[in-house]
Structure 1
């Protein structure tokens, strides 16, 4: 594609060079730029892509797009240069052009909110499949379409990967796309150039303050999906679907200002989709829903009022995309499960053990509230908080557990580079403030600290009686535990299944203590179990390749931040670890041929 075609529709402040030159691809990472590509210089928190323009040119970049001329004009004397006011936005728009504006050939539904995005996309996917349409899904768990399932580093990929993926979906015959849209993606302009048919809003509560700084800034990022990106979409019949039970719902409706489907669990609400009556059980939901097309009886295997709210948002989005009552009801019935979302672990004896991704105070509270009335006995919660992330939610998460659970086990949940003991102590404050006491065994209104997550899960399950339930919160679908700079293979659901089946435990995960030393007790415990454990039970430890890490803060290789839902392979990567210099850290994306 010619350079002038790639930059079509982008605001330009200055330009120089030959603009009918053929561009072979796009990159915002000087280390990965290839011959004939356009390098886009993006400013980050600790690195500036403009500093790496010479490197990109040495690697064969045919053109450069950025916000300012490099200090040394000699370095780009023969380069094609485009100056723009906002390089992030320009990158997204250029990617959309380069890959042929794929979102205009698709019906794209995007959903945002602190919690519930993944569930909404799974429900919507099931409805679209029930209508015999080819669907693509982009979100926290993975990217999937047709027979392909691809891992993602983030809930919403970087702009180049996103547009490339949408282009591949078009080529594969996909007609509809359900995607999660994170606050990071909205703030970083990753979805600029996407033409949404419908945008959904689930809820809003505290999360990602380590990135956004405060709740107001966090909400402003979420609201941009409606006030900016949906408004600018060229899709016909654009519509918003908003949960008006959330206090921020009305503000979203006002910011959007266009046609809206409102959803509510309040039978007295004048919303467009209203749950008039609902019955909740450990086997799912049965509800009567008032719609503009009459009163519908729905069933779903999902659990709890918060999931009924998610279902209503998905139903509204399906209606906005033109699906019939028959297809919607069939899709709701055919959905089997959403990985890691109040996901019951199979057990021959019928014991109630659930895995959930809840890692915010609000999500944890809702998961507990959903199970609490359905459990005859005790509700035991296993949970922790991530290291190098929003520290302000640790105390509230402890309080949320104390408010609804009968007992708790505090454990590791991706401690990363923080001292696990320090994280646990912050959580303990919330539990103590909520009326729990610290103990050595699971008992009423008592919490135990067991930093080995595998052992923590075993403690909870073995302590549970026939009428009790165990909620293992925080990781959900994730299959790793990040400690320091290493990613260890670990999956809550698999650990729980192993314990319920009575299989022998693998050796404990041996981690460094706060001083960076492995303790003698840890080594001794590990050796004892290693001697007895079968080889198949040994855990897999994988060192993370720093070059594969994509930054959620500013797409740089030296600072990485997780999305809520997020979802990520995360670690702090020092600049010195890369022998190839700087760059802005975009992952490689398929190039158009």
Structure 2
């Protein structure tokens, strides 16, 4: 796994500046100057605040791939190492990275899942089902990266192209045959998946999110469509698309004849979900018909949206020739960290932690939990800073429309004033309360730990509470500091304190 500098110049259609031996080769590429080692190729990209070329000095990089601005910085600093100058680094970075690592995706069966909600759950279901078939599987997504179930440290939902191709190579070397991964809209727009061969691409749904990056829902859709359009170099070889929303139906038209459509709501589709029932043990059961064959599905994950996620996962597995019996058996008991995760410490009410951090996801989770309880419904939620601000009042409104007790708190404020974020969520909450058929109680508690305690203290026998927004995350970003914080731990602590106090009062 290596490529010569002349091959790189040809592949990138760049210009070689400086002296380099024709046989000079590279087996490692990175955007991170701290990860450079002897013989590395440094991809120096322009950033929001500084150009990557500013960090090349003193590194062991053997050559630098950059643009004209980066080349000028290096020249001005007197850097004499070979430079491959290209017009647009991101446009060629994926293909170059894949070539350096020997195009590992061509030797793997890669299943990619995109959409607004459900990506993580769908990839977990795919991972479990494929492993039940006997495959060694890699997973890349929001909750991290795993190889055959063992965690590998990564930061982004879809890593930058050099790290992604390095992970594929690592997974291949470890004996993986399949990789399941989340494909974010950022990854498609920024070319992170360029150079990757996807055996199948799945689409879950589309709802408001990331409008700080895409500006409009139409732009957001077009980014996702890059994974399915016939003329897109990023297109997966096969497409499996949920058509339970209008965006999904439009996406199926974009994908064309290579598309397999799926519905869990009775919409016209190639794959149909039958009637869903729930067993006394809490398992969801339903039938799924693919290519005229009916399959019986059992699922531990609650909620109609998880029926849709499971239907998509099974359909994607079918598209790559899976053993349906083994695959379906493997997904039955799957649980996903921070996704509809029940926290049970013996209390007489339901406590759930979920990652829902966008309006449609909040609605879906609240509706699902509401269907499981005969009592009142409480929710704790906030909104993240430095992200799509237009969804904040929508989230507050969604919570009030369905819950009896709504606590607006801090999520990850990042660089923003937390109070201003809460005010935006509260604006939507109070607006929705004016037309609500019930009389929801709305409270503002900025301290997230205190908000969770208040929700636990509010709950009575038969009620349900949801702590939404952070799910699996184990930190709270305030400014530039990531403070240790896990919603699940705080819910458990609050339940323990309540139980202890109740025991003392008895």
Query: Quick check: TM above 0.5?
Result: yes
**Kept in 2: contact 1:357–1:473 (CA 8 A):** yes
Task: Give the aligned partner of residue 90 of structure 1.
Answer: 92
Name the CA shift for 1:169/1:229 in 2 (closer, same or farther; >3 Å): farther
Cα distance, 1:477–1:436 mapped onto 2, change above 3 Å: farther
Deviates further, 291-300 or 118-127? 291-300
Matched residue, 2:219 = 217
Aligned to 1:253: 252
1:14-50 CA deviation, whole Å, 9 max, x = no partner? 334433213353232446544432222322333333x
Does the CA contact (< 8 Å) of 2:110 and 2:197 recur in 1?
A: yes
Aligned to 2:503: none
Q: Which residue of 2 aligns with 1:499?
A: 494
Corresponding position: 1:155 with 2:147: no
For 1:59 and 1:504, locate their aligned partners in 2 and report how far apart those are by CA, in whole Å.
Answer: 56
For residues 119-167 of structure 1, what are the alpha-carbon distances to aligned partners after superposition, in whole Å with 9 as ceiling and x for unaligned?
0001111110110111110000010113520232111111111111111
Equivalent positions of 1:310-325 (< 5 A) are 310-325=309-324
- Structure 2, unmatched stretches of 5+, are 501-506
What is the SS of the residue equivalent to 1:122?
helix
Aligned equivalent of 1:536: none
Q: Which has the higher contact order (CA 8 A, sep 6+)?
A: 1
**Equivalent residue runs for 1:296-315 within 5 Å:** 296-315=295-314
Q: Does residue 20 of structure 2 align to residue 25 of structure 1?
A: no
**Cα 1:8–1:252, aligned 2, differ >3 Å: closer, same or farther?**
farther
Q: Tell me the secondary structure at the aligned position of residue 196 of structure 1.
A: coil
For residues 380 and 164 of structure 1, do their structure 2 counterparts lie closer, same or farther at Cα, with a shift above 3 Å needed? Answer: same
How far apart, CA to CA, are the structure 2 residues paired with 1:429 and 1:74? 52
| Residues 1:278 and 2:280 aligned together | no
1:174 to 167, 173, 176: 176
CA contact (8 A) 2:144 2:151 kept: yes
- Tell me by how many angstroms 1:229 deviates: 9.2
1:305-360 per-residue CA deviation (whole Å, 9 max, x = no partner) reads: 1111111111111101111221232022132x111111111232453111100000
- Distance, in Å, in 2 between the alignment partners of 1:90 and 1:8 is 11
- After TM superposition, the structure 1 stretch with the greater mean CA deviation from structure 2, 186-195 or 28-37, is 28-37
CA distance in 2, matches of 1:320, 1:144: 23
What's the CA shift for 1:304?
1.1
d(CA) in 2 for partners of 1:181, 1:8: 28
Q: How does 1:466-477 map to 2 (within 5 A)?
A: 466-477=461-472
**Is the Cα contact below 8 Å between 1:380 and 1:406 reproduced in 2?**
yes
**The one of 398, 402, 405 aligned to 2:403:** 405
Cα 1:459/1:144, change in 2 over 3 Å? same
**What are structure 1's unaligned runs of at least 5 residues?**
438-442, 506-593
The answer to whether the Cα contact below 8 Å between 2:139 and 2:181 also exists between their aligned partners in 1 is yes
| Structure 2 CA distance for aligned equivalents of residues 193 and 76 of structure 1 | 33
Name the SS of the counterpart of 1:502 in structure 2.
Answer: helix
Aligned pair in 2 of structure 1 residues 363, 229: CA closer, same or farther (>3 Å)? farther
Q: Deviations over 1:284-314 (max 9, x none)?
A: 4221222214222211011111111111111
Query: CA–CA distance in 2 between the matches of 1:6 and 1:189?
Result: 21
TM-score, structure 2 normalization: 0.91
What displacement does 1:79 show? 3.6
Render the CA deviation track for 1:29-78: whole Å, top value 9, x for unaligned: 446544432222322333333x53xx526534322222327337576785
CA distance in 2, matches of 1:328, 1:352: 31
Alignment partner, residue 430 of structure 1:
428
**Following the alignment from structure 2 to structure 1, what is the Cα–Cα distance between the partners of residues 26 and 136?**
31
Partners in 2 of 1:199 and 1:152 — Cα distance? 22
Alpha-carbon offset, residue 90 of structure 1: 2.1
What CA deviation, in whole Å up to 9, does each residue of 1:66-123 have, x standing for no partner? 2327337576785433233321132222221111211111100000111110000011
| Structure-1 residue corresponding to 2:351 | 353
Structure 2 match to 1:113: 115
The 10-residue stretch of structure 1 (24-33 or 114-123) with the greater mean CA deviation from structure 2: 24-33
Instruction: Report the more deviating stretch, 108-117 or 253-262.
Output: 253-262
The corresponding residue for 1:369 is 367
Of 443, 449, 458, the match for 2:444: 449
What is the RMSD of the two structures over their aligned residues, measured on CA atoms?
Answer: 2.6
The reply to whether residue 462 of structure 1 matches residue 457 of structure 2 is: yes
Whole-Å Cα distance in 2 between the matches of residues 106 and 13 of structure 1? 29
1:570-585 equivalences in 2 (<5 Å): none
